[in-house]
Amino acid sequence: MKVARINKQGQPLSVNPCHGNRFNPDRTWLGLVSLGLGLFVYWIGYKANTGYPGFLAVQFVLSGFILLVAGTEWMRTLSFAWLFLFFTWPMQPLEDSLASPLRPRTAAMAAAVLNTVHVPAINEGSALQSAPDAESGKQIGDVFSLDVDAKCSGINSLFALMMISALLGYLALKRPRSRFVLFACAVPLVVAGNVVRLLLLVAGTKLFGSDFAVGRHIGEHQEMSPYHTFAGFAVFAIALAGMFALCWLLEGREMKANLKRHGKPLAAGEVCAIPEPRRMLAQFLAAIALPLLVLGICACTDISFHVAAPGVKLRPDDSRLPYLPLSLGDYQGREFDMTADEKNLLDEGVRLARNVYASATGRQIMATVILSGFEKRSLHRPEVCLPNQGWTVTDRTQIPLQMKDGREINIMMMRIFRDSEPQPGVKVRTRAINFYWYIGSDGTSCADHYEHIFLSYYDAVFRNIQHRWSMASIYAPLPEQRVGQEDPMQELNAVEDARAFLAQLAPTLMLTKEEWLKTAHAHDEAH
């Protein structure tokens, strides 16, 4: 960088760059790269009509402005504050993806601890129940029966405690490696705290009963007891205690004071470097012009939601509803309308077709096709809806499906169960297999919820296709059986029957690429 090198007498001097909070001239054009990347991400979010990429754009734009206007020393000084801004992002997209795997693992660890201390326990999915005892005649769940739902998965505590661990490490520790270790240990500490919370609920249930420890069920609403609320603070107690203990082990008995900047004073006769005015002006103009240019591009970008034709067949007599055949092989179907609860839950414009099929062998299968409305995010994840209906998801697996017409797609298979007590002392378990997948507008299909969200935004930005998604869901119930007396062969037979049924059903409701192109052409002419 060209700088002025003169002293009071007008003689040239060697220059020592300014430090600390003095005027720093080490601006760099690398800030233009970060600024441009942030503005490009902002345009993607604007084109896809979603706000979440805007949070990432803010991070890049801020770093670009700092590098262009203030320089690399300021960027190093503000690096922690810049990274800390990530905790201000809304975490809704991460809650489902992180909470789902945390729930069964937390229940499994709690069951392992209980068995170690000679309290017989078993877990299935996110359910933690007492083991059966033949000598006393107790069945599964007679002593305690808990389910780690989404609210109790510890995911909300995890975000808060990760933020605390980052701040604690910055204030108390000096070594970057120690700070990273403290930050990374927030995850196992939160899981350990959640396990302790479950153990407290088990102890409270054994000593004082389920109503005292967990709460009462009022209709479909769970009223949380004061003891349950108190046990929730165990997550923070265990995690914070572990953080402070780990911090003490890493840096000694005393917490270090706030990390101070170390500035080097100017030597006698030295002056602060002054940047060349032309370069400084060019960097300021670039920092202003580039955002204005991108805002102009956004203003010219069409973000109206021109929804494409759906990728499923519609009824000839009612083009608003998906098509499901009434007869399929040796299965005969019967139509069922959308329930009142579903109408309240689903967004406006969502259409649903549902048939219940029965075969000559007695196998019953319910097929549902949900056609999204004119909102991009109008389809919900079954993993979220099913627990609200009292189901426990045991596991989920993505499997291939070979259709009768030769096409192959991936679908999601879930094993679920729900317990009931029709009469005192008699517990009955209903098991079921649930398959689902998403069908896009151009023959695209995917099994994962987040994959269909990614494809929605990617195709909207780069392919100019606004998908009108559909979700096909197949539910195959198993006969009710006493808890602990389930026949595993029934589940295997149900899976095989359902997959054979799906191989016939999928081609009848999914359009091929060629069929969709014809439908899309007629759809465009109609609109």
Q: What is the pLDDT of residues 399-444, one digit of tens each?
A: 999 998 888 999 999 998 887 777 766 778 888 999 999 998 887 8
Is 18 within a domain?
Answer: no
191 and 73 in a single domain? The answer is: no
Is 315 within a domain?
Answer: no
382 and 455 in a single domain? The answer is: yes
69 and 102 in a single domain? The answer is: no
- Compute φ and ψ for 105, nearest 5 degrees: -70, -35
350 and 483 in a single domain? The answer is: yes
On whether the pTM is more than 0.85, the answer is no
Assign 209 to helix, strand or coil.
Answer: coil
- Mean pLDDT for all residues in the chain: 78
48 and 108 in a single domain? The answer is: no
The confidence band for 186, taking pLDDT boundaries of 50, 70 and 90, is confident
Q: Exposed, middle or buried: residue 424 (CB in 10 Å: 0-12, 13-18, 19+)?
A: exposed
User: Considering the chain, what percentage of its residues have pLDDT values greater than 90?
Assistant: 11
Is 22 within a domain?
Answer: no
Is 11 within a domain?
Answer: no
- Compute φ and ψ for 517, nearest 5 degrees: -60, -40
Domain boundary among 222, 251, 280: 251
Is 458 within a domain?
Answer: yes
55 and 133 in a single domain? The answer is: no
343 and 487 in a single domain? The answer is: yes
The confidence band for 505, taking pLDDT boundaries of 50, 70 and 90, is very high
Least confident stretch, 46-55, 99-108, 120-129: 99-108
Burial 403-418 (b: 16+ CB within 10 A, else e): beeeeebebbbbbbbe
161 and 34 in a single domain? The answer is: no
Q: Which domain holds residue 473?
A: 327-526
Domain count, the chain: 3
Is 307 within a domain?
Answer: no
Place of tokens 């953080």: 243
190 and 209 in a single domain? The answer is: yes
Q: Tell me the two tokens of residue 249.
A: 């082990």
The confidence band for 106, taking pLDDT boundaries of 50, 70 and 90, is confident
58 and 191 in a single domain? The answer is: no
For residues 422 and 354, the model is more confident at: 354
For residues 273 and 480, the model is more confident at: 480
**Which residues 6+ apart lie within 8 Å of 485 measured at CB?**
none
104 and 61 in a single domain? The answer is: no
172 and 285 in a single domain? The answer is: no
Q: Is the pLDDT of residue 73 over 80?
A: yes
The confidence band for 92, taking pLDDT boundaries of 50, 70 and 90, is low
